[in-house]
Copies of this chain bind each other. A is one copy, B any other.
Amino acid sequence: MTNSTKNNGVPTLADVAQHANVSTATVSRCLNSPERVGEKTRKRVMKAVRELGYAPNFGAQALAARQTNTIAAVIPTMENAVFARGLQAFQEELGRHGKTLLVASSAYDAELEEQQVRALVARGADGLLLIGYDRAPDIYAFLAKQQVPTLIAWSFKPEEKRPTVGFDNRAAMTELARQVIAQGHQHIACISAPTASNDRARERVDGIRDAISQAGQNPADLVVVETPYGIETGERAFRQVMTEAPQTTAVMCVNDVLAVGALRAVREMGMKVPDDLSLTGFDDIEIATLAEPPLTTVHVPHREMGRCAADMLLQILRGDQNGHTLELATEIRIRQSLGPAPD
């Protein structure tokens, strides 16, 4: 009985070896370090590989080689264009280096994220990409114990020492808020994603407060409405803002999608942007320029972040001991949704 017959018809190394009249070791070498095999032998082996349609068994390979060439990422959701973009670039760069991407999404749920991390590590991920710093300490402990190199993206706090590629959410939002204040707005409100386990959102809100302080006003006065991600939720949140703080003249949203939702609500309520009310977003995804009027927002280099994340993680896996922290620059994009405060 040939091996082939046993293994469901899927050819194994042994089958190839038999077919080419060499040992399994030689076949393995042909595939992994061809230069260490004689020209003639190699040709014969490769022919056998093709003829049998051989592909290595992943489990066996992973077990013996102690690595999977697989990198995992846990993101909040692929439906958010910022993550889709970043991940696309991340994957492309990984692919160039022979690595495969394993993805899971947490739906912005901390507990689910923990499950996903464990699942992906169990699936043999050689490295891991996570979004933002916020998570339970035991996740970090688990990753340390399992020795899974982990890179944090989308956040950057100078005082954090974990390997990171991201931008300073707080500083970026402060800068944007300054511009809003410079337009004479005294009553600013904020629509935010839930900040409980999302340092990106929290930092952005705090960034607004920083600017308010710097302008000599009381940051505690900032009206903040938290709501899950989505256009519709942004719409509802805006109505809530205007109920709680009808004197508001500028609404700063922590992302473009919420801002577009708010924009809709503004229209439905019969007001004009920016004449009656100014609006800002964050991320600078396509809908920011498509919106009517186009959104003032913070441009974030998502693709570059994805690409850099891949490079850095690869470097860490290679054992490079350089400082693995990279801060990317953001840029304020002033567009028509921001105007002077009405009298």
Interface residues of A (CB under 8 A from B): 8-10, 53, 55-64, 66, 68-70, 77-79, 81, 84-85, 87-88, 91-92, 95, 100-105, 107, 116, 118-124, 141-142, 145-147, 231, 260, 286-287, 290-292
Besides the known contacts A55-B121, A59-B124, A102-B102, 12 further A-B residue pairs in the complex with CB atoms under 8 A apart: A55-B118, A57-B124, A58-B68, A69-B123, A70-B102, A79-B85, A91-B104, A95-B104, A95-B116, A100-B123, A103-B103, A260-B290
- Assess whether A78 is in contact with B88, with CB atoms less than 8 Å apart: yes
Q: How far is the CA of A55 from the CA of B145 in the complex (A)?
A: 10
Identical copies of this chain, number: 2
Contact yes or no, B70 A123, CB < 8 A: yes
Can you identify 7 A-B contacts, CB atoms within 8 angstroms? A9-B145, A53-B142, A59-B62, A68-B123, A91-B104, A92-B105, A231-B286
Q: Does A91 contact B63, Cβ atoms closer than 8 Å?
A: no
Contact at A59–B55, with CB atoms within 8 Å?
Answer: no
- B-chain residues with CB within 8 Å of residue A107 when the two chains form the complex: 92
Which residues of chain B come closer than 8 Å to A123, judged between CB atoms? 58, 68-70, 100
- Nearest Cβ in chain B — how far from A259, in angstroms? 12
A194 to B10, CA, bound (A): 36
Decide yes or no: A103 and B105 within 8 Å by CB, A59-B124, A118-B55 being known contacts. no
Q: Which residues of B contact A102 (CB under 8 A)?
A: 70, 100-103
**9 closest residue pairs by CB, A with B:** A59-B62, A58-B124, A59-B63, A53-B145, A292-B292, A78-B84, A84-B84, A78-B88, A55-B122
Pick from B57, B87, B147: contact of A78, CB below 8 A.
Answer: B87
Given contacts A59-B59, A142-B53, A231-B286, contact A100 B119 (CB under 8 A): yes
Measured between alpha carbons, how far is A38 from B290 in the docked complex, in Å? 62
